[in-house]
Amino acid sequence: MNKELHGIVKGWESKVRKAQAAVKKKRAGSIFATMSVAHVDDDDLEIPRDKVYHVEQNLSNGDMYRGQWADNCPNGNGKYLWSDGCMYVGEWVTGNMNGKGKFCWPSGATYEGQFNNGLMDGEGTYIGCSNSSYKGDWVYNLRHGKGVKKYSNGDQYDGNWRRGRLDGQGRYQWSNGNQYIGQWRNGKMNGNGTMIWANGNRYDGCWEDGLPKGNGTYRWFDGSFYAGKWSQEPKEMSGTYYSSTSEIDQLDWNPQEVYSSCMRECKISRDDKISVFPSEKKVSCCPPEGDLSQKHSLRKNSRPKEGRELRSGSMAGRLSNGGFSSLGSESEIGFDGETGNIADIPRETRHQHIRIQPKKRQGNTITKGHRNYELMLNLQLGIRHSVGRPAPAKFLDLKATAFDPKEKIWTKFPPEGSKHTPPHQSCDFRWKDYCPLVFRTLRNLFKVDPADYMISICGNDALRELSSPGKSGSFFYLTNDDKYMIKTMKKSEVKVLLRMLPNYYNHVRAFENTLITKFYGLHCVKLTGAAQKKVRFVIMGNLFCTEYAIHRRFDLKGSSHGRLTDKPESEIDSTTTLKDLDLNFIFGLRKNWFEEFCRQVDKDCDFLEQERIMDYSLLVGVHFRQVSQSGEPLACEVRTFEISTSGGDINGSGSTPRNKRANSNPLDTSRWALGISMPARAEVTLRKNEFELIGEPTGEFYDIILFFSIIDILQDYDISKKLEHAYKSIQYDPTSISAVDPKQYSRRFRDFIFRVFAEDN
């Protein structure tokens, strides 16, 4: 710790001890300056809530604050010292660290840069107590974007970060002179890259999980090189040595030395652990009880700059007592600076009154006597057999033969059992696995544990069947733990999936954050006997398997014909899937996430367009973070946009008390995958007419958690869809129907989705 900072901390600690003693003795006085203040009764002191004052005061909990004050909390510029020695100097907005500031820890560590609601968010520099440092971009207390990290041992990384880890393109320089330049993923060297050792040797090629894997070349400083396929497993490795001279020398060198010796010198240093985040520090937002010894002077400026808006322009909500007027009452709202009354708005354009019903478990458990009981047993027996079957080593590079539609395995399941199958109480059936190696590799790519997968589907608990089939006539089943969804399929859909499987595999492998449905298995059950009935089905991940209660769900396509739920408002609950014309929100995502969202939607739509797929949709789940006891979502102030990793009341409505601050550690990055548990803000919209897809923003906001994914991606633009398009185009506006050419569908879908989602700036 440098001498200057050491002196500051010691001085603050001394003042903390004096202040705590003063509070215990109930003495009034300022720690910042010697002054005399006349006694003022609480009833006589009338400070307007919308004015900013300068105060110097001891707070009742032992903290100290000096700076601008309004609405009984820090507002403007000020210095706050916590009793444990933490200190913040900078800008405040309604009790939250917002804007530019500096946070100091008692250990001597500091962060100086941008804050957002107490979170290190924006450009900033963190200097650890061990002289390590990071200068660059932050999002929600995590290094995210471009930045330079200097480690305490002399190592340095300059490149891209993602959710606190090295991810993207970057250069890592070790203190011993070694360096790696290339791609990273989840803190490890992954993708194409070059390792250059201090002795001049280098490796150029593919990497996986921090080690050479795949095609690559190892070069010596004299020009000789070894090229081939690399793997930590010797039996999987092959290559050829090339001498720098015209004559081929006999090489007495084992390529495995790269793993056993060279890579030992290239360990990635660990980041410093931050003991407590600024967002976890509570701020006392009321004057000390019985102690009004404060020096205040009225400033000419009124309350600090109001919080940001999701959108500028039409219909900004009017602030009332620091919050937005609710559109559910006959209150005033602003129309571009003019005052109007909600009673003047046509009845059909008002947004639906949202009422959160108690959490409801979807589907009916399949028990003995159910018409699909035997089918469930067959499915579970088949999955247990497929997952438990011995498999080759896990490679992500698959041969073309693995994707051949003819690559399938039939297995007989007689009731009495066989050499490969156990006896069972169901009927005689045959089981088919389509492209088993591909789907096994996909499960590995999606980080699905085989044991957990088998227990979820084939455990003691029965499956649940959704009450009604989908529009296509397919039936849906859910596992008891809600992790997986099983959908019956038409033969045509199976053909589409098998046709697109090679490109689907390459797409999900290339784009870790793809929003496209994750497929885990494709199977068929064929009943023996006279019926010869075949049931084909696919196993997918369930987007809504979460501890957060899903309060509203939407299926969005960007078309208007038939895209309105016919249920009365009283029957709409958390399991009702609403459609485009039911949507009355614009969803605001933080800048980094919104940009990533737009990029990924473009990539996914390009893929679906190339595969001639249409009629897909974006499934969106909404969890309202603040719900009243009566079951109504509570609107938030524009300024209030907090992040929490806590799920709230997960057994009931999932609500969080309105006055509860989100001070939990936001480092649970497992919830930060694109489309999964994403903190966001929803702005209410109102339509001018019943045919308008997107209404006008109103300025009423809700803090929410979002879930979204692109689903129903197996509809080919075949002859039946072409005929449907021709027929409906005669009766309706051709642009309003779902059955359109994949290129037109993709363009319309993107245009709609990019209006539903916006950057929250």
The secondary structure of 275-339, three-state, reads CCCHHHCCCCCCCCCCCCCCCCCEEEEECCCCCCCCCCCCCCCCEECCEECCCCCCCEEEECCEE
Contacting residues for 732 by C-beta, under 8 A, at least 6 apart? 561
| CA atoms within 13 A of residue 86's CA, in its CB half-sphere | 15
Chain-centre distance of CA 75, in angstroms?
A: 31
In order of 141, 166, 674, the CA distances from 668 in angstroms are: 11, 16, 14
Show the CA angle centred on residue 212, arms to residues 209 and 216, nearest 5°.
Answer: 145
pLDDT value, residue 415: 83
Q: How much is the pLDDT for 498?
A: 94
Task: Tell me the pTM.
Answer: 0.61
Q: Could you count the other beta carbons within 10 Å of the beta carbon of residue 681?
A: 24
Q: Over the Cα atoms of the chain, what is R_g? A: 31
Q: What's the Cα-to-Cα distance from 520 to each of 299, 373, 391, 481, 512, rounded to whole Å? A: 63, 22, 16, 16, 16
Question: Tell me: the pLDDT tens digits for 107-164?
Answer: 889 999 999 878 888 899 999 888 899 999 988 888 888 999 999 889 999 999 988 8
Token output for 257: 């030395």
pLDDT along the chain (761 residues), means of 10: 50 52 41 32 41 78 85 86 90 86 91 88 89 88 90 91 88 92 90 90 90 89 85 84 62 80 85 84 62 39 38 34 32 33 37 65 83 87 84 77 86 83 84 92 91 88 76 81 92 93 94 94 84 86 90 88 76 84 91 91 95 92 86 70 40 39 40 82 86 84 93 76 53 57 89 92 70
Q: Are 508 and 445 contacting, i.e. CB atoms less than 8 angstroms apart? A: yes
Query: What tens digit of pLDDT does each residue of 278-326 get?
Result: 888 888 765 544 343 344 433 333 333 333 344 433 333 332 333 333 3
Distance of CA 649 to the CA centre of its chain: 20
In 3D space, the residue among 46, 41, 59, 138 whose CA is nearest the CA of residue 95 turns out to be: 59
Decide if 140 contacts 150 (C-beta within 8 A): no
What CA dihedral angle connects 575, 581, 587 and 593, to 10 degrees? 90
- d(CA 443, CA 456) in angstroms, rounded, equals 14
- Measured CA to CA, the distance from residue 22 to residue 12 in angstroms comes to 15
What pLDDT is stored for residue 24 in this prediction?
43
CB-CB contact of 174 with 193 (8 Å)? no
Side chain identity, residue 593 = W
Distance of alpha carbon 9 from alpha carbon 5, whole angstroms: 6
Q: Are 509 and 396 in contact (CB under 8 A)?
A: yes
- 122 contacts 105 by C-beta, under 8 angstroms: no
HSE-up (13 A, CA, CB side) for residue 19: 28
Tokens of 145: 């974007």
Which residues, in sequence order, are CB contacts of 414 under 8 Å at separation 6+? Answer: 421, 428
Say how many CA atoms lie within 13 Å of 207 toward its Cβ.
25
| Per-residue tokens: 462 | 């029965």
Question: Sign of dihedral through CA atoms 58, 46, 99, 271?
Answer: positive
